[in-house]
Amino acid sequence: MLTNERHDFILKLLEEKQTIKIQDIVELTAASESTIRRDLTELENRQKLERVFGGAVLPGRNLAEPSVADKSAQNLQEKINLAKFASGFVQHGDSVFLDAGTTTFQMIPFLTEKDLVVVTNGLTLVEALNEQGITTYLTGGMIKPRTGALVGAQTIQSLKNYRFDICFLGVNGFHPDYGYTTPDPEEAAVKKMASSLARKTYVLADHSKSNKVSFAKIMDLEEATLVVDELSADTFEVLEKKTTVKVGKA
């Protein structure tokens, strides 16, 4: 087994079980204890795990890491389907705004090889974008510790330096009377500004957000195109300027 393979194996195992014992890894990999020890030290230096006496645990992260944290979430597969579908709207060479959030995060693997320029206010998206080799700009601003989103006056201001062909937003609720809403007014302001700088805006939401209302209003429903998955799995609804269109699955 290759060194690199073993590292991957350990990380995968750790993600599954949350906690691993050195002796277990030794048995499963048929490598010596010394080697596994070295692996763990190495991976700890890379901040992929934290060592504890007798084994290792997942690293304590302050910023929400969508890739890891959400794996257990119920609607992950739905989000991925939704993200994949929405990625189809992106044209080769587009300038794209990607909102901070888990759904937009899932779009990233589907944006490769499109020669894009992506601007985002989501710290958690950056590493994944880099991995895809996508030219990435980050807005400035204050960091919201829990979510890793950039918000505030500086964010708004730095956004004004860009124009987007296409803009993807996540929301916490959408409602015919109250429009798109999200809990944080600061984030709402950022989303609104980004949208206003884009030729076309798509709001991604799974069906659980339907008719939900949150504290801060972003904008009215008809100001963006809503992409929402159907409960009946493999179709999506695209509500464009109050027009309903049914589409087959991506």
Binding mask 37-76 vs DNA (x if CB under 7 A, - otherwise)? xxx-x---------xxxxx---------------------
Question: Starting from the edge strand earliest in sequence, which strands make up the sheet with 19-21, in order?
Answer: 19-21, 55-57, 50-52
> Which residues in the 8-37 window bind its own copies by CB under 8 A?
8, 10-12, 19, 21
d(CA 205, CA 174): 8
| Sign for the pseudo-dihedral over CA of 108, 200, 157, 148 | negative
d(CA 121, CA 194) in angstroms, rounded, equals 10
User: Of these, 63, 189, 213, 239, which contacts its own copies (CB under 8 A)?
Assistant: 63
Per partner kind, with CB cut-offs from 5 to 8 A, the member of DNA, its own copies, none near residue 32 is DNA
Say how far apart CA 116 and CA 160 lie, in whole Å.
19
Give the one entry of its own copies, DNA, none that residue 38 binds, where binding means its C-beta sits below a cut-off of 5 to 8 angstroms depending on kind. Answer: DNA
Unique residue bearing structure tokens 């504290």: 215
Does 142 interact with DNA (rule: CB under 7 A)? no
Choices 38-46, 92-100, 172-180, 192-200; region in contact with its own copies by CB under 8 A: 38-46
Element housing 206 (H / E):
none
Q: How far is the CB of 23 from DNA (least distance, A)?
A: 5
> Shortest Cβ distance from residue 56 to DNA (Å)?
8
Tell which phi-psi region holds residue 93, choosing left (phi > 0), alpha (psi between -120 and 50) or beta.
Answer: left
* Residue 158, contacted partner among DNA, its own copies, none, CB below 5-8 A by kind: its own copies
Establish if 142 lies at the interface with its own copies (CB under 8 A). yes
CA nearest to 103, candidates 77, 139, 123, 132: 77
Residue 34 interface partner, choices DNA, its own copies, none, CB cut-off 5-8 Å depending on type: DNA
The whole-angstrom separation of Cα 4 and Cα 231 is: 41
CB 97 within 8 A of CB 197: yes
Q: Is residue 131 near its own copies by the rule CB under 8 A?
A: yes
Complex with its own copies: residue 9 or 178, whichever CB lies closer:
9
Residues that bind its own copies (CB under 8 A): 2-5, 7-8, 10-12, 19, 21, 42-43, 45-48, 52-55, 57, 60-67, 69-72, 123, 126-127, 130-133, 135-143, 145, 148, 150, 154, 157-158, 161
